[in-house]
Chains A and B, each alone.
Chain A
């Protein structure tokens, strides 16, 4: 089945690290994505990881993938107030006609406080 689960809320202090977790169910997922949604805006791609990788680092962002456990995490180092947003995990599956379907989690709301 196709399902992506995330915790709904995370609160961190400014300057600390944030870790947002995600689990997915479809082992045929080839790419996994993290999107950020700021209030009143659409989704913005933050980063993605290919399923044969364990880790990907991009400035303050670190993505860890445990394919055996179907677990994905996003670590934000030195979290800033501008990081406050909803973060969506998504897995990429093939859909009919070759279209690459994204299955989204419900999103984790990150609140950063001083």
Chain B
């Protein structure tokens, strides 16, 4: 049981390049989400999914796309990387439903630098 895995751990991009950050979970959780962590700002929600085939925007969705074709995977795509997207990206999963039991489990993060 690997929990939540993210790849790659580190990535350097040039402005304008595209890439996909991978997130996978083996806990059969319905909810998956992507956050970015910037110094002094806590975590901000980018996109989330409440189940396969269903995605929605979070607080800071611009410049990112997501899809959820399976329960296990929730990739985050940067279409044309910008220096403002330099950040640490965390994927999180949780079980839907009962309040207090919908604990979010976080992956180890991907550190992205855009030059």
Contact = CB atoms under 8 A, between A and B. Distances in A.
A41 B88 CA distance: 11
Contacts of B109: 40-42
B45 A100 contact: no
Given A43-B90, A97-B56, A99-B31, A106 B41 contact: yes
Given A44-B106, A96-B56, A31 B100 contact: yes
Contact of A42 (B31, B56, B103, B107): B107
Contact of B103 (A40, A45, A50, A107): A45
A93 B112 CA distance: 28
Contacts, number: 62
Contacts of A45: 103-105
B53 interface: no
Contacts of A102: 43, 45, 104
Contact of A105 (B42, B94, B104, B107): B42
Nearest to A2: B59
A81 interface: no
A105 B37 CA distance: 11
Interface in B59-109: 90, 92, 94, 96, 99-100, 102-109
Interface in A10-56: 30-31, 35, 40-45, 48, 50
Given A43-B43, A44-B106, 14 more contacts: A8-B40, A31-B99, A35-B106, A40-B109, A41-B109, A42-B106, A42-B107, A43-B90, A43-B104, A48-B100, A98-B50, A98-B96, A101-B45, A101-B58
